[in-house]
Amino acid sequence: MERSPGAKLIDKAVDVLFLCRDAGGPVGVTEAARRLGMPKSSAARIVGALVRRGFLRQEEPSGKYALSNVFYSFTSALSERNLLIPRAVPVMEKIFRVLRETVHLNVADGLERVCVHVLESPQQLKAVMPVGQRSPLYCGGSSKAILAFSDEETMERVFARPFRKFTGNTIVGKKAMREEIRRIRERGYAVSHGERVEGITSVSVPVFHPGGKLAASLTVSVPTARYTESLREKILRELSAASAGITRGLG
């Protein structure tokens, strides 16, 4: 069925929002038009409307555009309606008090994982994980803990795409990744030594709904310089208990 001009315009406006989310920095009208394949005049009208409605803000002195803080209100509203985060926060706070390292909760969104809640280490040298940060499901501990326990359809969709190398430690070989997934399933947790960000080690466990369906991954991320095998064991004890606690809370 042919889409109406209004529907097409809405699609383009959403494309602009996704571009601003994923660009890694403010985006100009000319760049938006080029990357989205639309006339500059159309991009300018869409950006102007999004600014007027408070979804984008103009950065000074560049004159480029970025997502506004209004999206925090959407995140807050979503969190209040979602059982996962309220159930996870108390157990995450316990891990945080014991380890004083960055703890984050992550969920799958398509073929990516997205961080939905984080408690950031108070230490000067620490791992940083912003809420909303995304990563492919093949890259990093929190992603691999989700991928390893995802359904086969998701698994094959991930493996059907090329793997991008983020650091020298990113696993980009498909055979090597399948072996990594096998190990994660066998031992019940995932570890990343600088696969997405150099100098950061993460330990992650899956979190399940009471019926056994994957809900999320729970991760502790630390500077690699502070990581030891004894710390790994301590992290795993805390994460395993926390994961079980969240599952009970979701029942």
Q: Which domains, from first to last, does the chain contain?
A: 5-68 (1.10.10.10), 80-249 (3.30.450.40)
Return the amino acid letter for 70.
V
pLDDT in tens, 101-140: 999 999 998 889 989 999 999 999 999 999 988 899 999 9
Return the amino acid letter for 114.
V
Of 74, 77, 198, 96, the C-alpha closest to 105 is: 96
Of 142, 103, 106, the C-alpha closest to 123 is: 103
CA separation for the pair 136, 59 (Å, rounded): 29
Q: Collect all residues with Cβ–Cβ distance below 8 Å to 110 and sequence separation of at least 6.
A: none
Return the amino acid letter for 162.
P
Across the range 71-83, mean pLDDT stands at 66
In the prediction, which pLDDT does 2 show? Answer: 65
pLDDT in tens, 136-165: 999 999 999 999 999 999 999 999 999 999
pLDDT in tens, 35-54: 999 999 999 999 999 999 98
In the prediction, which pLDDT does 1 show? Answer: 55
H or E stretch covering 146: helix 141-147
**What pTM, to 2 d.p., does this model score?**
0.71
Residue with tokens 């100098």: 199
Q: Cβ(51)–Cβ(67) under 8 Å? A: no
Q: Is the pLDDT of residue 77 over 70?
A: no
Q: Is the pLDDT of residue 191 over 70?
A: yes
Q: Helices then strands (H, E): number in the chain?
A: 9, 8
Across the range 27-36, mean pLDDT stands at 94
